[in-house]
Amino acid sequence: MESEDEFLYTYFNHVSQLCYEKAKEHIEKEREPKVTTSPWSLFLNILQQLALAEKSYIEIGFLQNKHKSFLRKDNSLRSVYESMKNDLKKLEDNCKQTIADKRIQKGSKNIIEFMNARINLIDLYEKIHNISLNKQLICYNEIVHQVESVIEKNSGGFTDISMTPAKAVFSLECEILDQLFKALTELQRLQFLPSLALIHGAHTRLAAWENKIQSRETWKLGNMFKGNPLPALFQWLQQLKGAVLSKFSLYFYHTLAHQTTPNEMRNLCSKLHHDHFQKILAFQRRYDVSSVILLSDTQVSSDTTNNRFPVIVAFPSRNPPQLDTILKMISETNNELMNVEKIIYKFSSQEQFTYVLTTVEPNIYLVILFESKKSEKDTFISNFVVELCQNMRCTKIFSSLKSMTK
């Protein structure tokens, strides 16, 4: 490995391990005494800026409010990367044909490709955050396509040996996002094994990324009084995995419960990001609920009375006697249920039952039954429905991308 390649490899190794002070010291050691305008010195200045940008990126600084007006330029992280790209392009253009300058040109080319990849990911995270603002049913496939586009677009970029640490972490980040959003897509289709495999894939990649932060023990000491020392973006990905796993545990609760004892199942669910099962049970007991049911219009099951609307999970009974009535109501209110914020109350005077219906996902419905008349003004019911649906759709996690910004 050439000395310049070795220098860059060590630099990107420090940055990928979140050792930004070490990266800074590494740059300072390379500075030429009393020379400030040589191509190499200018290149080092950009590397110093890049380390600061990367520190901001890993703390989700890319979703900070943009301070932009006619008096002040856009200082968002995206614009910082764009500005550094322009500086590197100018440096490339001004380099001569010496061996040293050619190496700077090669390094600049690879780093520009890396910055393009960063900007692609910033655009992706902004799209994920914006999902939480849209009052529409979510199609996770759109995010999967964008993640795969980012992977494909940058697969041939920054492949130089000096960029290996940066490439490895970038690939892990993309693969984690890819696995989790594919898992959400498979969960909408109620596919047990594909969902489980994808969640496990994301889990192993998160573990691999955490292991790459080799010096985390040193900065844990400095952050031990500040809560979780892991960077905000890594924490967010962990939380997204936790939310997806919690959703999986509810959609396939009956399947999983058959594999273990009730006590063990309860203990396992209590460790999840959201223990949906216990929250539903608590809601039932406190509010005298007759039944809580999740149904799907996807043909995935043959053990129900109506194959078109299989019961995904129901508490307390898997096959409630009111199923035919529920299916009729869903069919009659289908247009209203397209509104993600709509909670429909239907009271049957003949049965003396109140049916509460809403859409969790494009093909999945939540139905709550009460053996008495309930009012739409009952905030306890509406708050429970809204919170459960938001957690199942993961919109709270998507929204938290901004609130986690430090």
List, for residues 157-195, the tens digit of each pLDDT value: 999 999 999 999 999 999 999 999 999 999 999 999 999
Checking if the pLDDT of 32 tops 80, the result is no
pLDDT (average), residues 13-40: 87
Angle between helices 39-58 and 20-30 (to 10 degrees): 180
Highest mean pLDDT among 88-92, 111-115, 378-382: 111-115
Q: Do 217 and 335 fall within a single domain?
A: no
User: Residue 346: inside a domain, yes or no?
Assistant: yes
387: its two tokens: 């919170």
pLDDT (0 to 100) of residue 215: 53
Measure the CA–CA gap between 115 and 57, rounded to whole angstroms. 11
Boundaries of domain holding 351: 276-397
Please provide residue 133's backbone torsions phi and psi, each rounded to the nearest 5 degrees.
-90, -25
118: its two tokens: 């960063």
- Band of pLDDT at residue 93, cut at 50, 70 and 90: confident
What's the burial of 267, exposed, middle or buried (CB within 10 Å: 0-12/13-18/19+)? exposed
Checking if the pLDDT of 143 tops 70, the result is yes
User: Residue 267: inside a domain, yes or no?
Assistant: no
> Which of 234, 250, 266 delimits the end of a domain?
250
Nearest-CA neighbor of 316 among 293, 294, 296, 295? 293
Q: Do 217 and 285 fall within a single domain?
A: no
> Which of 208, 233, 250 delimits the end of a domain?
250
Checking if the pLDDT of 308 tops 60, the result is no
Average pLDDT, the chain: 88
Instruction: List Cβ neighbours of 50 (8 Å cut-off, separation of 6 or more).
Output: 15, 84, 111, 115
Least confident segment among 204-218, 331-345, 391-405: 204-218
Q: Report CA Rg, the chain.
A: 26
Q: Do 158 and 290 fall within a single domain?
A: no
Measure the CA–CA gap between 311 and 280, rounded to whole angstroms. 16
Q: Do 38 and 127 fall within a single domain?
A: yes
User: Residue 404: inside a domain, yes or no?
Assistant: no
Q: Do 281 and 236 fall within a single domain?
A: no
Measure the CA–CA gap between 279 and 39, rounded to whole angstroms. 62
Q: Do 246 and 283 fall within a single domain?
A: no
Please provide residue 364's backbone torsions phi and psi, each rounded to the nearest 5 degrees.
-130, 135
Least confident segment among 4-13, 72-81, 274-283: 72-81
CA dihedral over 111, 116, 121, 126, signed as positive or negative: positive
Least confident segment among 37-41, 280-284, 394-398: 37-41
Measure the CA–CA gap between 166 and 16, rounded to whole angstroms. 6
Three-state secondary structure readout of 111-145? HHHHHHHHHHHHHHHHHHHHHCCCCCCCCCHHHHH
pLDDT (average), residues 318-329: 84
Q: What is the tally of structural domains in the chain?
A: 2
Q: Do 151 and 220 fall within a single domain?
A: yes
Q: Do 180 and 283 fall within a single domain?
A: no
- Residue 32 has what DSSP assignment? P
Instruction: List Cβ neighbours of 148 (8 Å cut-off, separation of 6 or more).
Output: 178
pLDDT (0 to 100) of residue 37: 73
| Distance, C-alpha 28 to centroid of its chain | 36
pLDDT (0 to 100) of residue 225: 47
Checking if the pLDDT of 406 tops 70, the result is no
Q: Do 239 and 288 fall within a single domain?
A: no
pLDDT (0 to 100) of residue 222: 47
Highest mean pLDDT among 65-79, 99-113, 147-161, 321-335: 147-161
Q: pLDDT, tens digit, for every residue of 46-84?
A: 999 999 999 999 999 988 755 554 444 567 999 999 999
**The one-letter amino acid at 44:** L
Q: Do 137 and 280 fall within a single domain?
A: no
Percent of the chain with pLDDT over 90: 67
pLDDT (0 to 100) of residue 70: 44
Q: Do 203 and 333 fall within a single domain?
A: no
Please provide residue 170's backbone torsions phi and psi, each rounded to the nearest 5 degrees.
-60, -45
User: Residue 339: inside a domain, yes or no?
Assistant: yes
Q: pLDDT, tens digit, for every residue of 348-381?
A: 999 999 999 999 998 899 999 999 999 988 899 9
Q: Are 362 and 188 in contact (CB under 8 A)?
A: yes
Q: Do 224 and 328 fall within a single domain?
A: no
